[in-house]
Amino acid sequence: MKRILYIEDSVTSQLIVRRILSGKNEVVIAPTPRAGNVLLDQSNYDLVITDFLFPQGDALDLIVPLRQKKSPSELPIIAVSGSMDAALVNRLLKAGVNACLCKPIKPPEFLMLVERMLLEPFIDHYSNAVNTVNCFQWFAHGAYHEYCPELQQYLTGKDRNDLSQRMQVLLHEQASQGTPLGFTTQERVRSYLVQPGPTAPVESSLQPSV
């Protein structure tokens, strides 16, 4: 039976996670990162799952000192948060978290992540973030036309390349002013941490499409 340390101050979230994971696993609850650090010093665990924000601080108070003692392959960490945006994901991964998950927790997705992490620890990496804005361009009546719904901008001209450049200038101007545009896609690289053996590689990387 695997031992999982779950660090969470919400009693409701504690009950949900215990219900999802109990049976095949022993789930130990800590209400704060400080309490989690005490438990980690007293006993061994196979996986740590932690919320990010707490009344007295955040999970970095646990993640940073833990990573100084044990590597991601020795003790994987999954971070969960209701405010898990791209910036927080990158911050947590740099601190040493193996994977991140958004709240509210979806039981099938959460259980699959936990089981895979216990079976074969891996590290998620997010890179090459691309912000995509859809614009529509067509040719009619001897001229090119382009329309951007998000900017509500309509441009026309005889030269197609010039028209595209003018629209890009408008988009960059809005983006530089902090206007949220389009949607962000990210390439995800997942590194599986394989225990070294007679013929096994130390580490392998896969690039699933997202």
pLDDT digits 0-9 by tens, 65-87: 999 999 999 999 999 999 888 78
Q: Are residues 138 and 95 in the same domain?
A: no
Q: Are residues 167 and 202 in the same domain?
A: no
The count of domains in the chain is: 2
Q: Are residues 70 and 6 in the same domain?
A: yes
* Interior angle at CA 8, CA 24 and CA 57, nearest 5: 150
Q: Are residues 117 and 21 in the same domain?
A: yes
Preceding amide of 196 cis, omega within 30:
no
Burial of residue 173 (CB within 10 Å: 0-12, 13-18, 19+) is: exposed
Question: In terms of residue numbers, what domain contains 171?
Answer: 134-176
Instruction: Kindly compute the dihedral angle of the four CA atoms of residues 105, 110, 111, 112, in this order, to the nearest 10 degrees.
Output: 150
In angstroms, rounded to a whole number, what is the distance separating the alpha carbons of residues 29 and 7? Answer: 6
pLDDT digits 0-9 by tens, 161-197: 999 999 989 988 887 777 777 765 555 667 777 666 6
